[in-house]
Amino acid sequence: MDGFGKQLDGLREANASVVAASVDDIGNAKKIADGKGFPFGYGVKRDIADTLGSWWEDRRQIIQPSEFIVNGETGKVVLSSYSDGPLGRLDAGDVIKIVNFYESQAKK
């Protein structure tokens, strides 16, 4: 998430918004969200993981990383990424490139 905070200006230039959420309580979520510059939800439970199609880890009661690029006009998911550990997450710079690509395709 730090990468998204650092790339927030570029994301905004690409007309992209960032929203994040965590299983943490509000106190810990605020610590993680501090200085990021985008909305950060807290208290994610298994029902949300199930709705997103994400992997829920019962042992630690956590949702594994689930990332989406959503078309702001249609509300449809145009790209999703699911991980089951610390690797394989979306990079903010790549998201900017992807959003710009979709925007250029929409203009054609």
The Cα 76–Cα 61 span in angstroms is 28
Whether residue 80 contacts residue 61, with contact meaning beta carbons closer than 8 Å, is answered with: no
Domains located in the chain, CATH noted: 2-107 (3.40.30.10)
In tens, the pLDDT along 78-88 reads 999 999 877 88
pTM: 0.86
Quick one: which of 9, 24, 29 has its CA closest to 92? 9
In tens, the pLDDT along 5-58 reads 999 999 999 999 999 999 999 999 999 999 999 999 999 999 999 999 999 999
| Secondary structure of residue 22 in the 3-state scheme | coil
If phi > 0 it is left, if psi is from -120 to 50 it is alpha, else beta; for residue 89 that is beta
